[in-house]
Amino acid sequence: MTRTADRPVAVIEEREAWRTLLPEQSGRWKTTSVDVLTVLMTGATCSIGCNMCDLHQYTVPGPLRAGQTIHQVRHALQQTSFEASPASGSPRWIKLYNSGNFFDRNSVPPADYQGLAELCRPFQRIVVENHPLIGASLHDDFLSALNQSDPGCQLEVAVGLETIYPGALKRIGKKMELADYARYAQSLAQRQIDLRTFLIVGFPGMSLAESIRWAKQSVQYALEQGSRHVSLIPARPGEGWAGRAGELPKLEVSALTDLLADSFAMAAETHACISFDVWDLEKAMQGEVQAGQLQRLQQANLSQRMTSDV
């Protein structure tokens, strides 16, 4: 398939949890849900090249020309019935994910920032993805564009921390250390940009029990660094893990139940939400995933609590 940088890869309508502070109860949080339009954009091939990531198949050789990302988002908005500003006034968010780094000028030309901000004006929150060591000087430029378009729009940056397991980031070719993530989290907070963190559950050579234990520790670390949302992603074969994909642990629903329950408990007194990525889940699981189990995991993502019958 020949990709063009003038069209997005896909457009997905979904819902996810978010939390608001109850005004009458200091320190108590209410969980609700929000409609989200996810635009999987065609970006330039990521310069990081982690050995477990196969997202390069959704990219093109860069750099993209000025105007191409604007064309993509405009096309996405035209192809969906998603109502960004409903009569009810309930929040609507948009994710602009480009299989790489939003602040890589080869993937999203800075000349497109204002146009993207204008297209996203009806949305209350814009979520993009980025590596901690890419495009540091460009964050303020995009913030400025957003503020000119809609001062009330909240920017959120999703970061692939993956795991705090010692040595893991180097082994997958992440080209960063935990300290880089921590500094980036602090930098985002100083700019009042929210942080979303992606974590992988499982690693080559790990047992199932170790995978769950390190995932829990990684969740705790991500929350300590101020993450507003932590997304748990089951380890899949992906790009091969440098030839070690066959050593990935097979996950079990009971173990995921334990992981999610403990993660929800960690986040209970914070503004953070936890989610588990159920896309293509069967590839990471031991045995078949029943429809009822999948549905309950999806419900847990929205309710932020794990029912006992999963």
Q: How far apart are CA 42 and CA 38, in angstroms?
A: 13
What is the number of domains present in the chain?
A: 1
Which domain does 180 fall in, by range? 10-303
Handedness of CA 228, 31, 256, 287 (dihedral sign): negative
In the chain, the percentage of residues whose pLDDT exceeds 90 is 77
Q: How far is CA 222 from the centre of its chain?
A: 13
Query: Is 81 part of a structural domain of the chain?
Result: yes
User: What is the mean pLDDT of the segment spanning 122-138?
Assistant: 97
Query: Is 126 part of a structural domain of the chain?
Result: yes
SS3 content of the chain, % helix, strand, coil (to 5): 35, 20, 45
pTM: 0.94
Q: Is the per-residue pLDDT at 310 higher than 60?
A: no
User: How would residue 153 be classed by pLDDT, with cut points 50, 70 and 90?
Assistant: very high
Map residue 44 onto helix, strand or coil: strand
Q: Is the per-residue pLDDT at 24 higher than 70?
A: no
For 169-206, write each residue's pLDDT tens digit.
999 999 999 999 999 999 999 999 999 999 999 999 99
Query: Is 308 part of a structural domain of the chain?
Result: no
Q: What's 285's domain CATH number?
A: 3.20.20.70
Query: Is 310 part of a structural domain of the chain?
Result: no
Specify the pairing of strand 154-162 against strand 194-201. parallel
Whether the Cβ atoms of residue 234 and residue 253 lie closer than 8 Å to each other: no
Which residue is listed with tokens 């999987």?
40
User: How would residue 309 be classed by pLDDT, with cut points 50, 70 and 90?
Assistant: low
Token output for 241: 């893990």
Nearest to 192 by CA among 161, 145, 157, 160: 157
Inter-CA distances, 163 with 131, 185, 190, 198, Å = 14, 15, 24, 9
pLDDT of residue 26: 65
19-23, 26-30, 97-101: range with highest mean pLDDT: 97-101
